Amino acid sequence: STNTVKKIACIGAGYVGGPSMAVIALQCPNIEVVVLDINEERIKAWNSDKLPIYEPGLEEVVFAARGRNLFFSTDTTKHLGEADVIFVSVNTPTKMSGIGAGRAADLTYWEGAARMIAAVSKSSKIVVEKSTVPVKTAEAIAKVLTRNCVDPNVKFEILSNPEFLAEGTAISDLTKPDRVLIGGQETPTGRAALEKLKWVYAHWVPDNRILMTNLWSAELAKLTANAMLAQRISSVNAISALCEATGADVSQVSYAIGMDSRIGPKFLQASVGFGGSCFQKDILNLCYVCESVGLKEVSDYWYTVVAMNDYQKQRFVERVISGMFNTVAGKRIAIFGFAFKKDTGDTRETPAIDVCRGLLADGAKCAVYDPQVAPIQMFRDLSAPKYAWDRPHGWTKSENHIMESVQAVSDPYSCAAGSHAICVLTEWDEFKGLDYAKMYDSMVKPAFVFDGRNILDHDALRKIGFVVYALGKPLDPFLVRG
């Protein structure tokens, strides 16, 4: 049929590009899928036994398709040249300087990818936005592509196909998606491109779950989905503060409201704060888009979701410090979990960064245990200003001082030993099954647990002798200051 796609290339072999292309390759054995990156080390890792990202079920998928119809390469010229469909899945961080700093998306990598495509294309291509970008990016990219392509016979059709996978569940999200969203131009060639991409997904996704919209709707739906999900967490986290002040229990409140089918039970788990590469970035991005079209009130509205998240992290730090007699100076504190959620080694925007920094600023010594995060990553995250860890001049004196106060520990028991407190910052399942009585014996008394994810058995911990703080739960009399 005319819908046939023979070869797909993807620019960007990260958390989105890697898993999503691996699943396409597994489900479509008749399509050759090549994932490209400028980072040679990353490509090497994708071609090795130890994949560059941790994701449950990912190895099985990659090992089944790799070498058959799934390839990882740095040879962009060759593979972009041959592909019918090119996914762009490069990083789009928040701009750190210039116009829109701290809010707008940095499209440097995106533009770089577009220029690369234009330079090597000798046949017409469908270019698919997969990484989240501001609304109307497709329009800008189309201009870059057509103005830079030397061959006038080469035509580019742009589609927006935002990815909704969550880290830690990427493979099941990709295999059984709630929906696949594809936006395209409302022209005959735009519709033809939509049908082609739909044909790819139809290999395993039911027809009624593949939605086709115009370009701007697809782009905006992605930003809105993340803003609404984050808003649920900020709403519940705001209520968690009120629960602590009144004696209500946030888990009971969440359960009760989630039973209302109009609200639904998911994404109502109070936490020390949301993290990850998407929520904050996409909301800031949404705010910036609103501002640039003169909608200040709309921007202010969404910004409160981010502000509430910062408040929640700060509130947690203040609880720890005030609970421990208003000083953590010189005290060892065991940090359980550094990743932004369980089942990933990703630390982008993890609440653990702000919490540890808050404790370190008050003189604490942090011993950090996480089953998936490499010590070097923890040090990078904690030592340098955001986004600037790779600057060439090394660390400043005060950063060095911070580094001396951080220790990465490879097992939870030695992490707890000698500590005054345990702070649970990631909801790893393994934290639930640990021997807390054994840890209690090795800790300084009074020994505290601050459960920032509400995953432990708090009554059992109290029986052992711990002073327990659980988010949004009635406070231990010990923690209430008179």
229 is an interface residue for ligand UDX by CB under 6 A: yes
Question: Which CB atom, from 91 or from 234, has the smaller least distance to ligand ADP?
Answer: 91
DSSP 171: H
Residue 284 binds which entry of ligand UDX, ligand ADP, none, CB below 5-8 Å type-dependent: none
Instruction: Report yes or no: 243 and 207 within 8 Å, Cβ to Cβ.
Output: no
Asked if 13 interacts with ligand ADP (CB under 6 A), we say yes
Is 15 labelled a binding residue?
A: yes
The answer to whether 131 contacts ligand ADP (rule: CB under 6 A) is: yes
Whether 345 has a binding-site annotation, put simply, is no
- Number of residues binding to ligand ADP, judged by CB under 6 A: 21
Is 166 an interacting residue with respect to ligand UDX (CB under 6 A)? yes
13 is known to lie in a ligand binding site? yes
Q: How many residues bind ligand UDX (CB under 6 A)?
A: 19
Report if residue 119 touches ligand ADP, rule: CB under 6 A.
Answer: no
Instruction: Please say if 290 is a catalytic residue.
Output: no
The residue (of 118 and 223) whose beta carbon lies closer to ligand UDX is: 223
d(CA 299, CA 308): 15
Residues 67-96 that bind ligand ADP (CB under 6 A): 89-91
Say if residue 90 carries a ligand binding annotation. Answer: yes
Q: How far is the CB of 8 from ligand ADP (least distance, A)?
A: 15
Q: By CB under 6 A, is residue 163 in contact with ligand UDX?
A: yes
Selected from 221, 253, 268, 287, the binder of ligand UDX by CB under 6 A is 268
Closest CA to 137 of 145, 129, 125: 129
DSSP 25-43: HHH-TTSEEEEE-S-HHHH
Q: Is 164 in the site for ligand UDX (CB under 6 A)?
A: yes
Tokens representing 32?
């050759």
12 binds, among ligand ADP, ligand UDX, none (CB under 5 to 8 A by kind): ligand ADP
Length of the chain (residues): 482
Nearest-approach distance from CB 91 to ligand ADP, in angstroms: 4
In the complex, the smallest distance separating the C-beta of residue 87 from ligand ADP, rounded to whole angstroms, is 11
Within 275-294, which residues bind ligand UDX (CB under 6 A)?
275-276, 278-279
Binding residue for ligand UDX, selected from 27, 91, 137, 226, defined by CB under 6 A: 226
Q: Which of 142, 135, 137, 130 is nearest to 189 (CA)?
A: 142
**By C-beta, is 72 or 450 nearer to ligand ADP?**
72
Does 347 engage in binding with ligand UDX (CB under 6 A)? no
Taking Cα atoms as reference points, which of 476, 472, 479, 455 lies closest to residue 337?
455
> Which is nearest to 273 in space by CA: 305, 303, 237, 249?
237
Write the DSSP string, 123-169: S-EEEEE-S---TTHHHHHHHHHHHH-S-TT--EEEEE------TTS
Residue 112 contact among ligand ADP, ligand UDX, none, beta carbon within 5 to 8 Å by kind: ligand ADP
- Please identify, using beta-carbon distances, which residue of 132 and 407 lies nearer to ligand UDX: 132
User: Does 277 contact ligand ADP by CB under 6 A?
Assistant: yes
In Å, what is the CA distance from 384 to each residue of 93, 138, 352, 380, 393?
17, 34, 14, 6, 11
Helices (H), 247-323: 250-258, 279-292, 296-323
164's contact among ligand UDX, ligand ADP, none, with CB below 5 to 8 A by partner kind, is ligand UDX
Cβ 209 to ligand ADP shortest distance, Å: 23
Nearer to ligand ADP, 91 or 137 (CB): 91
Q: Which of 3, 4, 29, 39 binds ligand ADP (CB under 6 A)?
A: 39
Q: Choose the catalytic residue: 10, 243, 278, 287.
A: 278
3-state secondary structure of 3: coil
192 CB burial (10 A radius; 0-12, 13-18, 19+): middle
Q: Candidates 341, 365, 420, 473: give the one binding ligand UDX (CB under 6 A).
A: 341
Across the beta sheet with 365-369, the strand order is 406-408, 365-369, 332-336, 421-424, 448-451, 467-470
Nearest residue to 93 via CA among 101, 102, 105, 103: 105
Minimum CB–partner distance for residue 167 and ligand ADP (Å) = 8
Amino acid identity for residue 134 in this structure:
P
Annotated binding residue at 170? no
- Which CB atom, from 96 or from 460, has the smaller least distance to ligand ADP? 96
Round to whole Å and give the CA distance between 51 and 347.
Answer: 17
What's the min distance (Å) between Cβ of 448 and ligand UDX? 22
Q: In 3D, which of 88, 225, 78 has the Cα closest to residue 161?
A: 88
DSSP secondary structure letters along 370-435: -SS--HHHHHHHHHSSTT-TT-TT---HHHHHHHHTEEE-SSHHHHHTT-SEEEE-S--GGGGGS-
Q: Which residues bind ligand ADP (CB under 6 A)?
A: 11-17, 36-39, 42, 89-91, 109, 112-113, 116, 131, 277
Q: Which residues bind ligand UDX (CB under 6 A)?
A: 163-167, 226, 229, 233, 267-269, 271, 274-276, 278-279, 340-341
Q: Which residues are catalytic?
A: 278
Sequence ranges of the binding site for NAD(+): 12-17, 37, 42, 90-94, 131-132, 167, 278-281, 348
